Amino acid sequence: MVMDIEAFRKAGYQAIDRICDYYYSLEQKPVASQVHPGYLRELLPAAAPEEGEDFQAIADDYQKLIVPGLTHWQHPNFYAYFPTACTFEGMLGDLYATSATNPGFNWACSPACTELEAVVMDWAAQLFGLAGHFLNSSEIGGGVIQTTASDSALVAIVAARARYTAAHPDVRLEDLVIYTTTQTHSLGVKAALVLGLACRALEVSADDRFALRGAALRAALDADKARGKHPFVLVGTVGTTSSGAVDRLDEIGEVLKEHPDVWLHVDAAWAGVTLACPEYRAPAQLASINAHADSFCTNFHKWGLVNFDASTLWVRNRRHLTDALDVTPEFLRTKQGDAGTVIDYRNWHLSLGRRFRSLKVWFVLRSYGAAGFREHIRKGIALNAHFAALVRAAPPFALVTEPSFALSVFRLAPPLPGVADGEREAALDALNRAYYARLAARPDVLLTQTVLNGTFCIRFAVGAARTTQDHVERAWGAIQEEARAALAEWEAARADGA
């Protein structure tokens, strides 16, 4: 039953048609999949078939068995986590890339893959206003596409550790410390687990809008160094997951001038794409990124219109990557690599093989153009501003912190008559958890929760390409409806003396 070229043409046309149908019908689907755990194992045989099956049966099973098990991240009423990009241009990039698959580990594997990546990373660097030293054309720093921000951070931390231990060969690995904040994405803790190193999450405050300040960093560095510890990398964030907080990279950069062997990795996985718009370069701290960051990461595959995965990482000095990661056995040697005239991207990341990810970035940047890319970012921010205004105008809704770019974090904060002051926060927490459970059960909208310094709250993250103001207003309707129900339930329970 193996597919030949003409059978592929037929199945390929059908796939394209069915993807079109998917997008025409997307808005009618529940946002989150409604299946129960284990649903698919019940429907599939226990083992692969002995004889090959007709592809039409397989394609039909995709529609029948898989699509109902998908949560639709491209649904216009998806406001959970952060968006995951999915554009038609991105799909076509993935399709062309897979059609002539190669493992891409050196230039010779397929020169176009290395070369296009080097060029589009320079395009992206300029789109975001990154300084010249981050460009591949500088031949000093450079950019590389990783799978995810976790991967980018891990690579940066490995390079930071190699740089630090080369300068301090007598330091024990046990004494190295990775700095994050309590608001840093789990990628910080994960990197520490992977590397077997200590991690210290610096405290931040609601008064500082959950941003790391220079003074807190200085105090931590001084205290840790005094007790013989060696902080060697700080993961700063532009746009944290819980609240969109932006660490004060200006202050951090000043402090790190006193500690030049501490590497500054800036994780802007979500919000980094706002740098495409001149008006967001100050709030997203571009000047400090350019002045102070050893490495900078943003994910095109979140808000940046390129299909997952496409995490872009730039470094100030590419030698820090290759010094840490270069492995070139005989079977990987090439004339061009030996001559040093080409980038061998395998030495810029963890794996050996790599997909041709730059193709989809190229397709998207050309089809949208810089202007279209900025328009998409501005639309998300405007929709979020609209949502935040609705929240502000409608007590007992309350923003827990200031909206950040395209993210608002809110909760219900009614007066709760009869609840003692000392019990108010616990009662609000219980109310909001019950409220969120109601909201999460709805098929027509999807939001996710978080906890900010102990306060349970709900995140509203805009950015799916198809979301309009009308969708935001319908989502707001659902949010209000469940709030009324949750408040009524709470009051009824209270009347019952519960």
Of residues 65 through 94, those in contact with its own copies by CB under 8 A are 65-74, 81, 84-92, 94
Smallest distance, its own copies to C-beta of residue 260, A: 21
When binding is defined by CB under 8 A, the residue of 353, 395, 443, 477 that contacts its own copies is: 353
Beta bridge partners, 451, equal 456
When binding is defined by CB under 8 A, the residue of 189, 287, 399, 487 that contacts its own copies is: 189
How many whole angstroms separate alpha carbon 162 and alpha carbon 29? 49
Tell me which stretch binds its own copies (CB under 8 A): 281-289, 327-335, 396-404, 423-431.
Answer: 327-335
Cβ–Cβ < 8 Å for 332, 168: no
3-state helix, strand, coil in the chain (%, to 5): 50, 15, 35
Residues with Cβ within 8 Å of 487's Cβ and at least 6 positions away in sequence, in order, are: 396, 412, 414, 431, 435
In the block, tokens 């949560």 appear at 71
Tell me which stretch binds its own copies (CB under 8 A): 328-336, 377-385, 398-406, 426-434.
Answer: 328-336
Write each residue from 210 to 239 as x if it is in contact with its own copies (CB under 8 A), else as -, in one continuous string.
------------------------------
Nearer to its own copies, 394 or 450 (CB): 450
Give CA 171 to chain center in angstroms: 33
In the block, tokens 């700080």 appear at 234
Residues with Cβ within 8 Å of 186's Cβ and at least 6 positions away in sequence, in order, are: 150
Q: Report residue 441 as tokens.
A: 């059960």
Nearer to its own copies, 193 or 492 (CB): 193
- The answer to whether residue 350 forms part of the interface with its own copies (CB under 8 A) is yes
Nearer to its own copies, 300 or 387 (CB): 300
Nearer to its own copies, 255 or 446 (CB): 446
Nearer to its own copies, 182 or 392 (CB): 182
Interface with its own copies in residues 126-185 (CB under 8 A): 126-127, 137, 147-151, 154, 158, 161-162, 165, 172-174, 185
b/e for 270-285, b at 16 or more Cβ within 10 A? bbbbbbbbeebbeebb
How many whole angstroms separate alpha carbon 71 and alpha carbon 28? 13
How many whole angstroms separate alpha carbon 447 and alpha carbon 84? 14
Pick the closest to residue 188 from 216, 160, 169, 165 (CA basis). Answer: 160
SS3 162: helix
When binding is defined by CB under 8 A, the residue of 163, 229, 248, 301 that contacts its own copies is: 301
Nearer to its own copies, 353 or 477 (CB): 353
Smallest distance, its own copies to C-beta of residue 166, A: 11
- The answer to whether residue 198 forms part of the interface with its own copies (CB under 8 A) is no
Pick the closest to residue 450 from 294, 272, 279, 244 (CA basis). Answer: 244
End-to-end CA distance of the chain: 64
Interface with its own copies in residues 362-421 (CB under 8 A): 362-363, 365-373
Smallest distance, its own copies to C-beta of residue 494, A: 25
At 441, give phi and psi (nearest 5°).
-80, -10
- The answer to whether residue 28 forms part of the interface with its own copies (CB under 8 A) is no
When binding is defined by CB under 8 A, the residue of 260, 331, 418, 498 that contacts its own copies is: 331
How many whole angstroms separate alpha carbon 380 and alpha carbon 359? 25
Interface with its own copies in residues 235-294 (CB under 8 A): 241-242
H/E element, 220: helix 214-226
- The answer to whether residue 429 forms part of the interface with its own copies (CB under 8 A) is no
Smallest distance, its own copies to C-beta of residue 122, A: 7
- The answer to whether residue 453 forms part of the interface with its own copies (CB under 8 A) is no
Nearer to its own copies, 59 or 399 (CB): 59
Give CA 252 to chain center in angstroms: 23
How many whole angstroms separate alpha carbon 8 and alpha carbon 121? 33
When binding is defined by CB under 8 A, the residue of 79, 107, 270, 348 that contacts its own copies is: 107
Smallest distance, its own copies to C-beta of residue 417, A: 29
- The answer to whether residue 298 forms part of the interface with its own copies (CB under 8 A) is no
Smallest distance, its own copies to C-beta of residue 393, A: 27
- The answer to whether residue 27 forms part of the interface with its own copies (CB under 8 A) is no
When binding is defined by CB under 8 A, the residue of 449, 479, 483, 486 that contacts its own copies is: 449
In the block, tokens 């060697």 appear at 232
Smallest distance, its own copies to C-beta of residue 409, A: 11
How many CB atoms within 10 Å of residue 191? 25
Pick the closest to residue 156 from 325, 372, 341 (CA basis). Answer: 325
